[in-house]
Chain A
Amino acid sequence: MRVNLPDQLLLSVQKPARYIGGEVNSIVKDMKDIHTHFCFCFPDVYDVGMCHLGLQIIYHDLNSYEGVYCERSFAPWPDMEQAMRQQQIPLYSLETFTPLKEFDFLGFTLQYEMSYTNILNMLDLAGVPMYSRDRSDSDPLIIAGGPNAYNPEPLADFIDIYYLGEGEVEYEHLFQLYKEHMAAGRGRREFLKVAATVPGMYIPSFYDVEYEDHPAEGCDHTPRLKSVTPKDPSIPAVVTKVLVKDMDSVEYPTHPIIPYLQIVHDRAVMEIFRGCIRGCRFCNAGMIYRPVRMRSKENILNWVDNVLKATGYDELSLTSLASNDYPGLYDLLKEIHTRYPHVNVSLPSLRVDAFSLQLMEELGEGKKSGLTFAAEAGTQRLRDVINKGITEEEILGGVKLAFKGGWDRVKLYFMLGLPTETQEDVFGISDLASKIVHEWMQIPKEERSRDLTVTVSTSFFVPKPFTPFQWCAQADYETYMERQNFLNSKIRNKKVQYRCHDAFLSTLEGLLARGDRRTGNLIYAAWKNGCRFDSWSDLFDESAWKKSIEETGTELSYYNYRERQEDEVLPWDHISVGVSKKYLYREYERAQEGIVSPNCREKCSGCGIMGISETGVCYEKRAAAGNGGNEA
């Protein structure tokens, strides 16, 4: 069946190009050769989802397998949702307009907690039973992956299979088994049993969850988790993530789909390395993507040649969690610039120092865009607690050089509500902003540009699974807002702008991030109460969420405000990202003492990732570690 969209419907919604598919480099296959029909489902609107690098990687990777067809679907914007519901149009795929219900697999990516209600909504729009237990052999298998999948429990009742780890590794294997399984005419439950034998696959319905028989300390009625155990001895007790051993051996899309619609980041994107050596204690990405694995310069340059030819883009982004940690970054950029002088190259997460300023000067051809510092905390003491290896001298030295070079916009990012934070730390944020303005004033008028803007943005710290702060109590709403108001009252300099926002979203994010299997009820209730697109401030319905929390009896004192004990069973303890709980706890203790830990290239901290795969920074020769080439 093919979904037919009447013109009248498309003309009545905003940005109809979101719903039409057919973009350059999208893939069309003949269905008669297909044994596994997969739909990549992004639980947000098209314009956001199409910026997602993982989508492009998985899409092209899966479509390179024989007999497999991977299509795409996104969450329809509320105007489209309403029109689809009115006219009973089911959610469909963009390549062939096939109703999602007819696919073999629907693969959701879990990028942020506040997209969870969209997943339920997409299942509902697709006409697929929302709960895993209600699905029959004729329904698609719902598979989920991505960074938030490492705490699979909040959505465990809705997802059939979790894929833990990097998408390039096991899908081909899984689909091969699916093909054989289908040929043999066996049912859904048997397939799940087979899938459970594939590395990285976690099937929530095969595990029993038990709770203690009394409420946790300080809570009214929510008992602590006692255990999550496989129902059957053939099912693994702990599922470990799968990862790419050699970044140069996996395909990287040279023909990314080019949307018609202008999307948020409209450019070619190359992941230059995966993982991060830094070990910031609040950072989930820094832990779950370990170890650091590089793509070679030759491989990157090759890709640049191909992708520019295949897309016509004139902007290129080289992404990673910390650009400066790519050895030979300067040479790489020089080479790209020599080959393509008109192509604009952007580097996210670039540390500001003499080296990078020179780099920006050379690449920007006179354009001085803003400088960004992710200082994260206002004092050195607190930056040591979170292991953010950036000092005030580095920041002030960086801006001084930048001001002399003609830059005049500085953005500073901080978190409020970090563990051990005091008023002094919050004050430190406004103090640092003032010091930056002071640096600018010191520069003679004829050497600096005419005016300066310093923008301070704060977000609220949310403890995440698989970080040293996973045991932390999260600051409550009042504390968050009080600190924000305090900071707002301290920023008095006219050249400093302060960007802040409401804290309730952060409370919810924390609740879902460290939720367990009971949290699924809350997500379902929120969806029932009309929550969608919760990460869009104009669509976020605070009262509906509050109502849902009340209806389901979800205790924030249990999920948010409570410090976990060292021996407590955490909802994600049966999942392994390769980093040991022992290491994380050691880091948690060092945080409380304000002791900084070295990065992976300086000295190994024994996080445990070496044990799951012989690859990456852990096995780089120590000698090679010295000539990073970018520390100038």
Chain B
Amino acid sequence: MRKQIIYQKTGRLRFVGHLDFMRTMHRAMTRAGIPLAYSQGFNPHPHMSFAGPLTLGWDGLGEIMEIKTEKDISDTELLQSLSRELPEGIRLLGCQTLDEKEPPIMAKIQAAAYRIDLPEERDWTEPVNEFLSQESIRLTKIGKIKGRKQEVEVEVRPWIYSWTLTDPHTLELVCASGSEQNLKPDLLIYALYRFIGAEDLKYREHITRCSLFGRDPQGNLINYSDPGAASGRKELA
């Protein structure tokens, strides 16, 4: 049985890396008695996948994972028993049963919404306006050229879909996220710091990933992090 779980990862869990977090989740499920299905073969591993790893240090308010169980279990029972075993910092928001044919969530994510709290000692209105209004923003990131890992320069301006400063030091940003196009907001912020010559501010920002999105056939964003919404699945079925 396929299940999709929406959860928050906040507080001190921000400092637990993705691999460690996966292990933490796996153990919590074992303790909770969730009948996880395992892969066949020499080293069986649990059927557990994530929409996209959350970078160390970020809060995640609408994270998504999918699991496979070998026995049927109701969404409510799964939520109740798993919640009891989770450490402070992981909160379950919802669970739903997926159709077997549904593509994995990882393949569907195309964008994400972030809230970025910038260091409070200055007014960011002007620098952010100036920086994000540029026609071109080029970032260097680690990428692959012909399969070899190296630094590559990427034009990311088209990947920024929308942004607003809700107050002088809070930036809300929707940008590309996923396996094809991916803009890591921390890299964008470091470029902003460089832009204004304040590189020592690195790590002073606080990034929250609020929602993860896919797109419908018309190209409109669908919020997959909303546990209440049907998330476009019904239309597909």
- A residues near B (Cβ < 8 Å) are 7-8, 10-12, 16-17, 19-24, 258, 260-262, 309-314, 366-367
Complex formed: what's the CA distance from A156 to B21 in Å?
Answer: 42
The answer to whether B12 and A21 touch across the interface, beta carbons within 8 angstroms, is: yes
Interfacial chain B residues near A7, Cβ < 8 Å: 57, 203-204, 206
The answer to whether A17 and B15 touch across the interface, beta carbons within 8 angstroms, is: yes
| Contact flags B51-88 to A (C-beta < 8 A → 1, else 0) | 00000110000000000000000000000000001011
Interface assignment of B89: CB less than 8 Å from any CB of chain A: yes
Say how far A310's CB is from chain B's closest CB, in angstroms. 7
The answer to whether B87 and A367 touch across the interface, beta carbons within 8 angstroms, is: no
Complex formed: what's the CA distance from A261 to B87 in Å?
Answer: 14
Say how far A309's CB is from chain B's closest CB, in angstroms. 7
Complex formed: what's the CA distance from A583 to B19 in Å?
Answer: 52
Complex formed: what's the CA distance from A11 to B204 in Å?
Answer: 9
Say how far A342's CB is from chain B's closest CB, in angstroms. 8
Given contacts A8-B204, A20-B15, A24-B87, contact A312 B26 (CB under 8 A): yes
Interface assignment of B17: CB less than 8 Å from any CB of chain A: yes
Complex formed: what's the CA distance from A312 to B81 in Å?
Answer: 14
Interfacial chain B residues near A313, Cβ < 8 Å: 27, 30
Complex formed: what's the CA distance from A203 to B204 in Å?
Answer: 48
Known: A16-B15, A21-B12, A22-B89. 7 other contacts (CB 8 A): A11-B203, A17-B20, A22-B87, A24-B85, A261-B16, A310-B31, A312-B27
The answer to whether A10 and B19 touch across the interface, beta carbons within 8 angstroms, is: no
Interfacial chain A residues near B21, Cβ < 8 Å: 260
Q: Identify which of A12, A19, A262 contacts B23 (C-beta below 8 A).
A: A262
- B residues near A (Cβ < 8 Å) are 12-13, 15-17, 19-21, 23-24, 26-31, 42, 56-57, 85, 87-89, 203-204, 206
Interfacial chain B residues near A24, Cβ < 8 Å: 24, 27-28, 85, 87
Interfacial chain B residues near A312, Cβ < 8 Å: 26-31, 85
Complex formed: what's the CA distance from A366 to B23 in Å?
Answer: 25
Interfacial chain A residues near B31, Cβ < 8 Å: 309-312
Listed residue (A261, A312, A367) with the most chain B CB atoms within 10 angstroms of its CB = A312
Interfacial chain A residues near B28, Cβ < 8 Å: 24, 312
The answer to whether B88 and A22 touch across the interface, beta carbons within 8 angstroms, is: yes
Interfacial chain A residues near B12, Cβ < 8 Å: 20-22
The answer to whether A260 and B20 touch across the interface, beta carbons within 8 angstroms, is: yes
Listed residue (B15, B87, B89) with the most chain A CB atoms within 10 angstroms of its CB = B15
The answer to whether B203 and A12 touch across the interface, beta carbons within 8 angstroms, is: yes
Given contacts A23-B87, A312-B27, contact A260 B16 (CB under 8 A): yes
Complex formed: what's the CA distance from A20 to B10 in Å?
Answer: 13
Q: List 21 A-B contacts (CB under 8 A).
A: A8-B203, A10-B15, A12-B203, A16-B57, A17-B15, A17-B16, A17-B17, A20-B12, A20-B15, A23-B87, A24-B28, A258-B27, A260-B21, A262-B20, A309-B31, A311-B27, A312-B26, A312-B28, A312-B85, A313-B27, A367-B42
Q: Identify which of B42, B57, B85, B87 contacts A11 (C-beta below 8 A).
A: B57
The answer to whether B20 and A261 touch across the interface, beta carbons within 8 angstroms, is: yes
Say how far A453's CB is from chain B's closest CB, in angstroms. 20
Interfacial chain B residues near A12, Cβ < 8 Å: 203
Interfacial chain A residues near B19, Cβ < 8 Å: 262
Q: Which 10 A-B pairs have the closest CB atoms?
A: A312-B27, A312-B30, A16-B15, A312-B31, A8-B203, A11-B203, A260-B16, A20-B12, A11-B57, A260-B20
Looking across the interface, which residue of chain A has its beta carbon closest to that of B28? Answer: A312
Looking across the interface, which residue of chain B has its beta carbon closest to that of A11? Answer: B203
Complex formed: what's the CA distance from A482 to B88 in Å?
Answer: 56
Complex formed: what's the CA distance from A21 to B15 in Å?
Answer: 10
Say how far A162's CB is from chain B's closest CB, in angstroms. 35
Interfacial chain A residues near B24, Cβ < 8 Å: 24, 258, 260
Looking across the interface, which residue of chain B has its beta carbon closest to that of A310? Answer: B31
Looking across the interface, which residue of chain A has its beta carbon closest to that of B19? Answer: A262
Complex formed: what's the CA distance from A200 to B58 in Å?
Answer: 49
Interfacial chain A residues near B26, Cβ < 8 Å: 312
Interfacial chain B residues near A16, Cβ < 8 Å: 15, 56-57
Complex formed: what's the CA distance from A23 to B26 in Å?
Answer: 15
Looking across the interface, which residue of chain A has its beta carbon closest to that of B206? Answer: A7
The answer to whether A314 and B20 touch across the interface, beta carbons within 8 angstroms, is: no
Looking across the interface, which residue of chain B has its beta carbon closest to that of A18? Answer: B15
Interfacial chain B residues near A366, Cβ < 8 Å: 42
Complex formed: what's the CA distance from A310 to B56 in Å?
Answer: 27
Interfacial chain A residues near B57, Cβ < 8 Å: 7, 10-11, 16
Interfacial chain B residues near A19, Cβ < 8 Å: 15
Looking across the interface, which residue of chain A has its beta carbon closest to that of B38? Answer: A342
Looking across the interface, which residue of chain B has its beta carbon closest to that of A266? Answer: B23
Complex formed: what's the CA distance from A7 to B120 in Å?
Answer: 14
Say how far B201's CB is from chain A's closest CB, in angstroms. 9
Say how far B194's CB is from chain A's closest CB, in angstroms. 17
Complex formed: what's the CA distance from A260 to B90 in Å?
Answer: 13
Interfacial chain B residues near A310, Cβ < 8 Å: 31
Interfacial chain A residues near B20, Cβ < 8 Å: 17, 260-262
Interfacial chain A residues near B87, Cβ < 8 Å: 22-24
Interfacial chain A residues near B29, Cβ < 8 Å: 312
Looking across the interface, which residue of chain B has its beta carbon closest to that of A12? Answer: B203
Say how far A366's CB is from chain B's closest CB, in angstroms. 8
Complex formed: what's the CA distance from A16 to B204 in Å?
Answer: 16
Say how far A344's CB is from chain B's closest CB, in angstroms. 11
